[in-house]
Amino acid sequence: MKLQRIHNQSEQKELRRRLRAKSTHEENALWNMLRAKRLDGSHWYRQYSVGEYVLDFYCPEARLCVEVDGLQHTMDEEVARDARRTAFLESNGIAVLRVPNRVVLEQSDLVASVISSELAKRRK
C-alpha cells in the first residue's frame, strides 16, 4: 500500500508562492527572526503545506508550526476553522503555536523565547 504524500503537494505550489508574495508585515518580521537558522539553529520553511493546509512557518526537525494570526482569527467561523486545522496537524504529530499579529511586532523577544522553548521540548 502506497502512503499518500501530505507535505508540500505539487498542486499547492502556486498557492504557496502567492501567499509568500502577499506576506503581511508581521509574517515578514517573524520570518526575519526564523530564516537562515537564526533561531536556535533550526531550519524553517515559510508557507509550507500539510494536507489541505498551508502553514505560515514550519520546522520539520521539531514538527512545529507557527501561525501568525490577525484579528479575523477571533471571529467565530475562523476560530472553528482554526480548531479543525489544529486538530488535523496535531493528529499528524505537528504542534501548533498561534501568535497574534500585534505580539510579533510589539514583543518579538517574547515570541522568540516561546518558540525557542517549544523547540527545546520538541527536540527531546
Tens of pLDDT along 34-66?
999 999 999 999 999 999 999 999 999 999 999
Domain-embedded: residue 1: no
Indicate which CATH number applies to the domain containing 112: 3.40.960.10
CA 17, CA 50: separation in Å to the nearest integer?
15
Please give the residue range of the domain that contains residue 22. 10-123
Q: Coil, strand, or helix at residue 9?
A: coil
Q: How many domains does the chain have?
A: 1
- Packed helices 25-34 and 108-123: angle between N→C axes, nearest 10 degrees: 50
For residue 5, being part of any structural domain is answered with no
Domain-embedded: residue 92? yes
Asked whether residue 4 is domain-assigned, the answer is no
State pLDDT tens for residues 17-35: 887 788 899 999 999 999 9
DSSP lists the bridge partners of residue 100 as: 69
Look at residue 21 and tell me if it is in a domain. yes
- Asked if residue 3 is part of any domain, the answer here is no
Whole-model pTM? 0.85
